[in-house]
Amino acid sequence: KAGVTQTPRYLIKTRGQQVTLSCSPISGHRSVSWYQQTPGQGLQFLFEYFSETQRNKGNFPGRFSGRQFSNSRSEMNVSTLELGDSALYLCASSSAGAGGIGEQYFGPGTRLTVT
Amino acid sequence: ELKVEQNPLFLSMQEGKNYTIYCNYSTTSDRLYWYRQDPGKSLESLFVLLSNGAVKQEGRLMASLDTKARLSTLHITAAVHDLSATYFCAVDIEPGTYKYIFGTGTRLKVLA
């Protein structure tokens, strides 16, 4: 079974631009979560989607948004990029249903650098 | 404010030695997860602990959960170089969703 895939793996953007990151979960997984990892703040929860609905959102500004498609693939978008948005963005998927119990499997991440 | 704290933050140990990493959290939760991250890599799931008193073992690693004390431990037995990595604990704080709050991470270096 293929794992969680994320594209692109690396990205360099300029301040003020916007970016879209993509995540394909493990086949059959309906829950997709996004996390930001930086040396200073560590791993921080962005949002979680289940069956195309956002179930939870972290404490990030509105510039960060996401969505999930009917095939469970997910995208996250960051508008008006700032230098502080430079980070590793990780996507995770889970096979658990609405009960939410189970483990998450993480993708390789997208390394975003904002200059 | 919810906090998930790990200690130590850095750990350098000799091969063959034993050590324990601690994960303290400040909210009620009976679901805790341990992950491993190698440099430049993603997170690998190690353990899923879903109830008070849960204990899981895999190879040289053993994890336990005490929800009353809000404490989880990751015990390393007879460390080997291949265990060198950063270890994270994560607490699932919202039943029914995957809103994980991660600990600060413990960077482990096992010296040959």
Q: For chain B, what is the radius of gyration of the CA atoms?
A: 13
Express each pLDDT in B37-88 by its tens digit: 999 889 999 999 988 889 999 999 999 999 999 999 999 999 999 999 999 9
Express each pLDDT in B97-110 by its tens digit: 778 899 999 999 99
Instruction: Assess contact for A101 and A85: CB atoms under 8 A.
Output: no
Q: Do B100 and A33 touch (CB under 8 A)?
A: yes
Nearest alpha carbon to residue A58 among A36, A38, A85: A36
- Assess A66–B contact: CB distance below 8 Å, yes or no: no
**Count, residues in chain B:** 112
- Give the 3-state secondary structure of residue B83: helix
- Assess A100–B contact: CB distance below 8 Å, yes or no: yes
Structure tokens, A10: 């690396």
Nearest alpha carbon to residue B25 among B104, B110, B106: B104
